């Protein structure tokens, strides 16, 4: 899957998870940039990403991610 395909899918997941049609993908986007991105919504996001991409991402991998761009790179690899 290309990086652009991953970005498109992640954008859909973000909009759905946070119920915010105005969210725009940025490589440097973090939880601090999104209203309502707390520990519970983070778990919902993790589950949605794993289901959408058919991959299991370990807790250690999740914890090592500092931005949405790093998640994109991980899913694109």
pLDDT in tens, 19-74: 999 999 999 999 999 999 999 999 999 999 999 999 999 999 999 999 999 999 99
User: Could you write out the three-class secondary structure of 4-72?
Assistant: HHHHHHHHHHHHHHHCCCCCCCCCCCCHHHCCCCCHHHHHHHHHHHHHHHCCCCCHHHHHHCCCHHHHH
Quick one: pLDDT at residue 1? 87
CATH number at residue 51: 1.10.1200.10
Domain range for residue 56? 3-76
The structure's pTM equals 0.91
How many domains is the chain partitioned into structurally? 1
Quick one: pLDDT at residue 11? 97
């Amino acid at each position: 899957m290309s990086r652009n395909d991953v970005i498109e899918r992640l954008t859909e997941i973000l909009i759905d998870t946070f119920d915010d049609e105005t969210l725009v993908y940025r490589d440097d986007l973090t939880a601090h940039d999104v209203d309502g991105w707390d520990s519970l919504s983070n778990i919902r996001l993790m589950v949605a990403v794993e289901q959408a991409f058919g991959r299991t991402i370990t807790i250690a991998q999740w914890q090592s991610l500092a931005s949405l761009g790093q998640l994109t790179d991980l899913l694109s690899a």
